[in-house]
Chains A and B, each alone.
Chain A
Amino acid sequence: MKRFVIKEFLHIFRDIRSMVILFGMPLVQVLLFGYAITNEVKDVHVSVVDPSHDQVTTAIQQRLFASGYFLQGEVLYSQGEIEESFRKGRNKMVVVFDDNFAQKLERREIPSIQLIADASDPNTANLLVNYANGIIAGYNQSMAVSAGGPVIVPEIRMMYNPALKGVFMFVPGIITILLMLVSAMMTSISIAREKELGTMEVLLVSPLKPLHIIAGKVMPYVLLSFINAISILILSHFVFGVPVNGSLALLLAESMLFIVLALSLGIFISTVSNNQQTAMMLSMFALMLPTILLSGFIFPVENMPVVLQWLSAVMPPRWFILIIKSIMLKGTGLAYFWKETIILIVMTLVFILASVKKFKIRLA
């Protein structure tokens, strides 16, 4: 027994890879979860529609923006502008004040105040609304007690996901994770397997060009991943009622772009790993974890420290999740996320170029 334990320790200490996993992973995990993965929300952009612009609305606004949760967003004037700003993803919540707010209060009428939240991320929306509610309640208390005035009760509207269904948030994330998993991991493993088994040696000695080998390996996975994406969409639409408010064709096209991106990433991983085990590990740690933790799928990017936000910016899933959320939930078109699309296209080109270049025409 004892000998066995000693032997196992020696194996681990002499293998740099297991050492890194053993000691590096917990550090990374703790730091990530400690910093990035906070469920609380702060510094979120909130816009305001304030036709009254009197001392009461100003006071409420001051309380809101002094709380530390919210950052002052745009000043909007119409319903159209509100929707536009949501579509563009400029803010997560809009506070709409009634007109003649102070006057109505004086007349003992109850002016309306509306909190409109972007519920494509239902958790965040819920938190924001609760914070705002709390702040307004605080204002009520201080004012009502001193002046004996009426109590202001905010009216709440959840945009894009009125029932606050969690599935609305998870479906885009899961599509992203699955496409990443199937496309990148499967291709990298299948190429690494050919190296491991020695069949790559025979392929290299044949007249096939590197591009042929890569394309041949990738084609089936493009198709399989695409079928995968479609089946997730069908399932989430008909079983969970997730809408596709935007263009279905655009959604599929963007998915295809992401699949190709993931596949080229997979090929890139396979060019730097010599066996299935390495390919698997690299895919897991370089793709899976960041996709889940840093893409904004579960944990909002806005709340991460700047360093992690930068890191998040180079994660393809981050941009893809933004795009599919926009199409499915907000129903917007290319005009609203052409930047994200271009980012994905550039990333794809970079990885394809890098892997064709790195793909060796010889061994070692």
Chain B
Amino acid sequence: MNNAETAIEAKDMVKRFGSFIANDHLTFSVYKGEIFGFLGANGAGKTTAIRILCGLSKPTSGEIRVAGFNVFTETEKIKKHIGYMSQRFSLYEDLTVFENFRFYGGIYGMSRSAIREKTSEMLGKLGITELRNTIIASLPLGIRQKLAFSVAIMHTPEIVFLDEPTGGVDPITRRQFWTMIYEAAASGITVFVTTHYMDEAEYCNRVSIMVDGRIEALDTPAKLKARYEAASMNDVFIKLARNTIEK
């Protein structure tokens, strides 16, 4: 995969807040169509990094390109070419399914007919065409989550950022959700997942693990498990975090 095109390219990304270094020389690439897991404990610096990659905050130094655009000078272009979904916020609960689609499609400058087409296509895929005019608040959590993801990729972004996407959903819905993510990745959308739930990490092609502002490991889950002689990503993470603290 080394020769593949990159969707995100970060070299020596540094972000300081006063004397506190939130991101300490992060260097990594995310390949096109890859599902990339961005892991770390609370306060390890994940949120800071995501904000920079989404064009919401400027790094202190480094060379970073997202979807080919420079995060220092081309944040507007970056925002047009990415999608974002978080577990906490994504859909307006007091609007209907279609109104949410219409709103987000509108934000990204999609035409009326394109929005209508995309909505029926995505609802059809989820098998919930009949819920088009239902208020979000009255839908079960699982469906909401799938809809949120559909909305995040309706403008076919190059990269979609998912912030703890499947915390708290039932195991069947979670698998349906990951199936959607795999399909999106297969269609060429790069998926960037941040989470501190290690079982989500197992689904990613490659994962990076952040500890105290630095990337301590970056590889496929299988190779990481082999390297740290661990049965699960959870154990990998605990070993890594404890090693670093002892250091």
Contact = CB atoms under 8 A, between A and B. Distances in A.
Chains A and B in contact, CB within 8 Å? yes
A4 B108 CA distance: 12
B4 interface: no
B36 to A, nearest CB: 31
A212 interface: no
Interface string B97-135: 001001101110000000000000000000000000001
Contacts of B99: 7, 10
Interface in A92-133: none
B94 A2 contact: no
Contacts of B95: 7, 10-11, 14
A15 B95 CA distance: 11
A362 interface: no
Nearest to A14: B94
B94 A11 contact: yes
Interface string A1-21: 011101100110011000000
A10 B135 CA distance: 11
Contacts of A7: 92, 95, 99, 103
Interface residues of A, number: 9
Contacts of B94: 10-11, 14-15
Contact of B102 (A3, A11, A14, A15): A3
B107 A3 contact: yes
Among A3, A11, A14, the one with the most B-chain Cβ atoms within 10 Å of its Cβ is A3
Contacts of B92: 7, 11
Nearest to B135: A14
A6 to B, nearest CB: 8
Contact of B106 (A2, A11, A14, A15): A2
A278 to B, nearest CB: 16
Interface in A1-55: 2-4, 6-7, 10-11, 14-15
Nearest to A12: B94
A10 B102 CA distance: 12
Interface in A172-226: none
Contacts of A3: 102-103, 105-107
A15 B94 CA distance: 8
Contacts of B107: 3-4
Contacts of A11: 92, 94-95
Contacts of A4: 103, 106-107
Nearest to B100: A7
A213 B105 CA distance: 49
A99 B123 CA distance: 96
Among A4, A7, A10, A11, the one with the most B-chain Cβ atoms within 10 Å of its Cβ is A7
Contacts of B106: 2-4
Nearest to B137: A14
Given A4-B103, A14-B95, 6 more contacts: A2-B106, A3-B102, A6-B102, A7-B99, A10-B99, A14-B135
11 contacts: A3-B102, A3-B105, A3-B107, A4-B103, A4-B107, A6-B103, A7-B92, A7-B103, A11-B95, A14-B94, A14-B135
